[in-house]
Amino acid sequence: MTGLLTDLYELTMAASYWRRGMNDQATFSLFVRQLPSQRGFLVAAGIESCLDFVQELRFDEEDLRYLRDSLGFTARDLEAFRRFRFTGDIWAIPEGRVALAGEPLVQVTAPLPEAQLIETVLLNQVTFETTIASKAVRCVIAAGGRDVIDFSFRRTQGIEAGLDVARVSALVGFARTSNVEAARRYGLVATGTMAHSYIEAFPGEIDAFRAFAQDFPGRATFLVDTYDTIRGVERAIAVIKELGLQGRPGIRIDSGNLDRLTRQSRRLLDRSGLEHVRIVVSGGLDELQIDDLVRGGAPIDAFGVGTRMGVSADHPYLDTAYKLVCYGDRPVMKLSRGKVTSPGRTQVFRKSRPFGDLVVLYDEAAPAGREPLLEQVMEKGRRKGRRPALSESRARFEADLALLPAAARDLREPRAPSVRSSPAVQRMSAQTRSGLL
């Protein structure tokens, strides 16, 4: 992995540290400053995408030539970059666990230049994947046990983003994805129907339905809203009965008044003896629209969710930061207005009932009745243990979600559980602040 996948100031800071022999152990904390107003909790994600990158991070000769010829780094700097290997430790809240603002999602302890150089990748991946996971879970909550399908690939902001979205949406409960490569890579279930262009390419709608069902009888879901939705449903019924389709055929409605159209469609299907035919809806859905349809009793079996989940349209970022909290034996903090940080290496302990987190100093005794959240995922520059299977991360997520209070899961006016700091953390903050002013 090329070391140039970073911001320039990371390289210049690292070079300056090396020139001055500033190689003592440093701890950086990656955290979210505050939750968006429509989020009552986060789902930690992204750290697993970083560990292999960090472990293999190198500056090859081509990288070094660029640093010399285009950016003016000295021969001494180049030699330091050539020797660079990450040798530190990384602790993180495991993927799939519920996380909150104001507590570390990731903590890195390593020689100062090393910890500095991995900042950009950690922020990029953890911020993006946590943002998407925390949006996607809202769709799962809204669906109330009905299937939710990832339709986002054509709207995600990049190919790799599409793969990441498919993975983290599956982590929080999406049943299937339209992204075939993501399904292959991550062991997901690929799914798909047909486009309006397929319908339009045939002389008539029923011709398209018949051709598709003949070619793919095991996965025939008919897109019925190209011309007239109810007539489309009637034609789908005719083809299903004509060909005697077995399994779980379906219809998909992608436009119009989904509540009214699904009710009419369900009546037509049931009167035709096709109670087993599923109704799938799509078309710019988000969690609030899904919630309205479910609460209203619309007879929908699955929701295809694309754009608004895949880019987290209502809040496409998190206010994350990666800040130095101690260097050597010295705790440090930032005092900028609105961006004050807490000093010292810490651990987070969770109490399930009532749900809430406590941030303590790393060497404090474990509080009774609480479990630690940060786990060591990298030791001396090497991944610690295997990458967990997606099913393991999903099980971890489901266990946490079940414990969350209803107020945190509310889709319209969520209230986050509390995050408190131990007296020792508060004392260290006061002492460090006093020494800086």
pLDDT digits (tens, 9 = 90+) for 373-427: 999 999 999 999 889 999 999 999 999 999 999 999 999 999 999 999 999 999 9
For residues 62 and 148, state if they share a domain.
no
In the chain, how many domains are there?
2
Asked if 362 contacts 343 with a C-beta cutoff of 8 angstroms, the reply is no
User: What is the pLDDT averaged over residues 216-244?
Assistant: 97
Residue 435 reports pLDDT greater than 90: no
What does the pLDDT read at residue 338?
Answer: 83
**pLDDT digits 0-9 by tens, 272-304:** 999 999 999 999 999 999 999 999 999 999 999
Residue 340 reports pLDDT greater than 90: no
* Domain hosting residue 416, numbered range: 8-132+315-436
Look at residue 2 and tell me if it is in a domain.
no
Rg (CA), the chain: 26
Residue 111 reports pLDDT greater than 80: yes
Which residue do the tokens 């022999």 mark? Answer: 21
Question: In the listed set 286, 310, 334, which residue is the last one of a domain according to the structure?
Answer: 310
Look at residue 137 and tell me if it is in a domain.
no
SS3 for 54-121 is HHHCECCHHHHHHHHHCCCCCHHHHHHHHHCCCCCEEEECCCCCEECCCCEEEEEEEEHHHHHHCHHH
Residue 246 reports pLDDT greater than 90: no
For residues 297 and 411, state if they share a domain.
no
Using CA atoms, how far apart are residues 107 and 124, in angstroms rounded to an integer?
15
What does the pLDDT read at residue 286?
Answer: 98
For residues 148 and 224, state if they share a domain.
yes
What does the pLDDT read at residue 165?
Answer: 98
User: What is the pLDDT averaged over residues 31-42?
Assistant: 97
Which runs of E-coded beta strand occur in 100-234?
104-111, 147-150, 176-177, 221-223
Using CA atoms, how far apart are residues 123 and 65, in angstroms rounded to an integer?
27
| Beta-bridge partner residues of 92 | 106, 375
User: What is the pLDDT averaged over residues 349-359?
Assistant: 94
For residues 91 and 37, state if they share a domain.
yes
User: What is the pLDDT averaged over residues 188-198?
Assistant: 96
Residue 309 reports pLDDT greater than 80: yes
What does the pLDDT read at residue 437?
Answer: 65
Look at residue 98 and tell me if it is in a domain.
yes
Using CA atoms, how far apart are residues 272 and 88, in angstroms rounded to an integer?
65
Confidence of residue 1 (pLDDT cuts 50, 70, 90): confident
For residues 263 and 369, state if they share a domain.
no
For residues 427 and 324, state if they share a domain.
yes
Kind and range of the H or E element at 351? strand 346-351
Kind and range of the H or E element at 359? strand 356-361
For residues 239 and 356, state if they share a domain.
no
User: What is the pLDDT averaged over residues 340-360?
Assistant: 94
Asked if 38 contacts 315 with a C-beta cutoff of 8 angstroms, the reply is yes
For residues 83 and 174, state if they share a domain.
no
For residues 164 and 301, state if they share a domain.
yes
Say whether 360 sits in a helix, a strand or coil: strand
Among the ranges given (77-91, 178-192, 337-351), the one the predictor scored with the smallest mean pLDDT: 337-351
Using CA atoms, how far apart are residues 58 and 385, in angstroms rounded to an integer?
22
For residues 116 and 213, state if they share a domain.
no
- Mean pLDDT over the full length of the chain: 96
Look at residue 1 and tell me if it is in a domain.
no
Identify the CATH number of the domain in which residue 417 sits. Answer: 3.20.140.10
Using CA atoms, how far apart are residues 108 and 7, in angstroms rounded to an integer?
18
Residue 436 reports pLDDT greater than 90: no
For residues 16 and 89, state if they share a domain.
yes
Q: Which amino acid, one-letter code, is at 121? A: V
Using CA atoms, how far apart are residues 135 and 311, in angstroms rounded to an integer?
9
For residues 244 and 349, state if they share a domain.
no
Q: Is the preceding omega at residue 316 within 30 degrees of 0, hence cis?
A: no
Question: In the listed set 268, 288, 310, which residue is the last one of a domain according to the structure?
Answer: 310
User: What is the pLDDT averaged over residues 185-204?
Assistant: 97
User: What is the pLDDT averaged over residues 144-166?
Assistant: 97
Identify the CATH number of the domain in which residue 283 sits. Answer: 3.20.20.70
Using CA atoms, how far apart are residues 106 and 44, in angstroms rounded to an integer?
10
Using CA atoms, how far apart are residues 291 and 312, in angstroms rounded to an integer?
17
Residue 48 reports pLDDT greater than 90: yes
Question: In the listed set 310, 334, 354, which residue is the last one of a domain according to the structure?
Answer: 310
